[in-house]
């Protein structure tokens, strides 16, 4: 009798995307209900009304909004890919390829995120100056109104009066999204698209587009698209989800730290994304250094692939023609 259980093959990429979408919708609904319960328990009805109308002057409503933000990240982004791996009967670390990170590579990723800051800023400034044709002006006005609402909410969340507020923001804005969104988009969505199309570049850019679009911030679409693509290539080239998570965390943590700097120096938070921090020389230098580091990472990825092929070939059994 054969007691060995055969390995169950994975579902198709289409089925996995469907499962992932279903889990995300279920997670969003469940966490929305939990958020409402939390608001009812810890806040009064007036606070809930304030949140509904996006009037965020009351500190109690801001705290409630932070709870909603954390629960939404967990329900919409963190849990669905975890449940997908469980559904496929696989360990999460194996399903999403969480190879142990090295200190040297983490240092390279840190350097990459620092030198790419001017490019991220420049793409954001260009995106903010985007205008639509006259016939689409009502759409542009609606987009700008939504952008202003989102900006006010972000500014409210970024206000920090104590060290505890700073640590909470690092968790809520930097750490949790880095883990949850990379697990969802690079681990879940990009992985499925890679299997579907058989082309990592197509998978990376489609995923980056979805990643940027789902944030529904039209005048920050381009920098978020480029960041999403960068995280996607890091996932492919390093073959570990830890590195795009680390890069994502650094990007968001930088925004939190910049907000803290503005508050310490009594500068308006509304101007964080509007004031350029670099001149043209910084943009040129940032572009050159970013390209050089990306070339290095790609070259390293290709060399590691060749070494793996040689290792597999070396260990293959050789059979003599006389047999």
Q: For the segment 261-273, what is each residue's pLDDT rounded down to a tens digit? A: 888 888 777 666 6
Q: Which of 9-23, 124-138, 249-263, 299-313 has the lowest mean pLDDT?
A: 299-313
Mean pLDDT within 292-315: 74
Q: Note the residue count of the chain.
A: 323
Q: Which residue's structure tokens are 């200190």?
A: 103
CA nearest neighbour of 192 among 269, 88, 275: 88
**Any idea what DSSP says for residue 187?**
I
Q: Does position 127 have pLDDT exceeding 70, yes or no?
A: yes
Alpha helices in 88-199 (DSSP H): 92-95, 103-115, 117-128, 137-158, 163-169, 176-181, 191-197
CA nearest neighbour of 277 among 292, 294, 247, 255: 255
Q: Between 221 and 139, name the one with better pLDDT.
A: 221
Mean pLDDT within 159-164: 87
Query: Mean pLDDT across the chain, nearest whole number?
Result: 84
Q: Does position 236 have pLDDT exceeding 70, yes or no?
A: yes
Residue 257 exposed, middle or buried by CB count within 10 Å (0-12, 13-18, 19+) = middle
pTM: 0.86
Mean pLDDT within 147-166: 81
Nearest-angstrom CA–CA distance, 30 and 193: 27
pLDDT in the model for residue 319: 40
pLDDT in the model for residue 265: 83
pLDDT in the model for residue 202: 97
Q: Is 89 left (phi over 0), alpha (psi -120 to 50) or beta?
A: left
CA nearest neighbour of 16 among 73, 79, 75, 87: 87
pLDDT in the model for residue 226: 96
CA nearest neighbour of 291 among 132, 115, 171: 115
**Is residue 46 very low, low, confident or very high in pLDDT (cuts 50, 70, 90)?**
low
Q: How far is CA 220 from CA 120, 146, 183, 274, in A?
A: 10, 12, 22, 12
pLDDT in the model for residue 172: 94
Helices 280-315 and 221-238 cross at an angle (nearest 10°) of: 30
Q: Does position 144 have pLDDT exceeding 60, yes or no?
A: yes
Q: How far is CA 142 from CA 20, 30, 51, 211, 225, in A?
A: 31, 30, 20, 21, 21
Q: Between 87 and 149, name the one with better pLDDT.
A: 87
Helices 45-52 and 13-42 cross at an angle (nearest 10°) of: 140
Q: Between 206 and 262, name the one with better pLDDT.
A: 206
Q: Which of 41-45, 71-75, 224-228, 297-301 has the lowest mean pLDDT?
A: 41-45
Nearest-angstrom CA–CA distance, 96 and 240: 8
Q: Does position 162 have pLDDT exceeding 90, yes or no?
A: no
**Is residue 44 very low, low, confident or very high in pLDDT (cuts 50, 70, 90)?**
low
pLDDT in the model for residue 143: 79
Q: Which of 30-34, 117-121, 314-318 has the lowest mean pLDDT?
A: 314-318
Nearest-angstrom CA–CA distance, 230 and 125: 19
* Number of neighbours of residue 101 by Cβ within 10 angstroms: 16
């Amino acid at each position: 009798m054969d007691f060995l259980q055969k390995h169950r093959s994975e579902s198709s990429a289409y089925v996995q995307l469907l499962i992932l979408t279903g889990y995300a919708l279920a997670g969003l609904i469940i966490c929305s209900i939990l958020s409402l319960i939390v608001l009812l328990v810890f806040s009064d009805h007036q606070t809930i009304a304030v949140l509904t109308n996006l009037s965020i002057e009351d500190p109690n409503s801001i705290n409630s909004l932070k709870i909603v933000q954390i629960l939404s990240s967990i329900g919409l982004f963190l849990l669905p890919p975890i449940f997908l791996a469980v559904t496929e009967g696989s360990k999460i670390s194996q399903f999403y390829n969480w190879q142990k990170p090295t200190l040297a590579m983490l240092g390279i990723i840190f350097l990459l995120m620092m030198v790419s800051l001017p490019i991220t800023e420049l793409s954001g400034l260009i995106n903010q100056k985007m205008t639509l044709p006259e016939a689409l002006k009502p759409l542009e006005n609606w987009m700008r109104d939504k952008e202003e609402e989102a900006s006010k909410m972000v500014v409210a969340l970024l206000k920090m009066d104590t060290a505890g507020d700073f640590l909470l923001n690092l968790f809520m804005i930097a750490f949790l999204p880095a883990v949850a969104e990379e697990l969802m988009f690079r681990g879940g969505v990009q992985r499925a698209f890679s299997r579907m199309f058989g082309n990592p570049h197509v998978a990376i850019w489609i995923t980056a587009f979805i990643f940027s679009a789902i944030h529904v911030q039209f005048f920050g679409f381009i920098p978020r698209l480029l960041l999403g693509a960068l995280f996607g290539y890091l996932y492919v080239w390093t073959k570990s989800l830890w590195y795009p998570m680390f890069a994502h965390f650094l990007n968001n943590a930088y925004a939190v730290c910049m907000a803290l700097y503005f508050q310490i120096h009594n500068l308006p938070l509304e101007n964080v994304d509007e004031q350029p921090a670099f001149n043209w020389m910084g943009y040129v230098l940032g572009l050159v250094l970013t390209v050089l580091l990306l070339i290095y990472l790609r070259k390293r990825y290709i060399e590691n692939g060749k070494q793996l092929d040689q290792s597999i070939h070396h260990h293959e059994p050789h059979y003599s023609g006389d047999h």
